[in-house]
């Protein structure tokens, strides 16, 4: 995520076809603001840019928890990430 050439790195907590819940150590964006993001494809050193709208944010013990509405991430990338998440979830029960 970038703001005036600053880069903020976050951790994805939840991912769906429509949105992402992330945790950031620092966060300097407002609700309804459109932000440029990059997301790493699972098991690849490839980062895909997308835009997202900040839907909500709250400060927690982990940092800033933020809800982001995905605006233009390729469907194929979303599907790949969702499949990766699902496979990790299934493995957690084995």
**pLDDT at residue 1, rounded to an integer:** 57
**pLDDT at residue 67, rounded to an integer:** 97
Taking residue 14's Cβ as centre, other Cβ atoms within 10 Å add up to 10
Q: Enumerate the domain spans of the chain.
A: 2-91
Task: List, in sequence order, every residue forming a beta bridge with 6; answer none if it has no partner.
Answer: 3
- Measured in whole angstroms, the distance separating CA 35 from the mean position of its chain's CA atoms is 11
Residue 5 reports pLDDT greater than 70: no
Place domain 2-91 in its CATH homologous superfamily. Answer: predicted glycosyltransferase like domains (2.40.10.220)
pLDDT, tens digit, 9 for 90 and up, residues 40-70? 888 888 899 999 999 999 999 999 999 999 9
The C-alpha R_g of the chain, in whole angstroms, comes to 13
Task: List, in sequence order, every residue forming a beta bridge with 2; answer none if it has no partner.
Answer: 7
């Amino acid at each position: 995520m970038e703001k005036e050439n600053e880069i903020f790195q976050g951790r994805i907590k939840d991912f769906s076809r429509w949105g992402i819940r992330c945790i950031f150590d620092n966060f300097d964006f407002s609700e309804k603001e459109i932000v440029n993001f990059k997301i790493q494809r699972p098991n690849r050193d490839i980062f895909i840019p997308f835009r997202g709208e900040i839907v909500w944010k709250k400060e927690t013990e982990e940092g800033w928890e933020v809800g982001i509405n995905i605006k233009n991430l390729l469907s194929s990338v979303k599907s790949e990430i969702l499949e990766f998440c699902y496979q990790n979830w299934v493995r957690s029960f084995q």
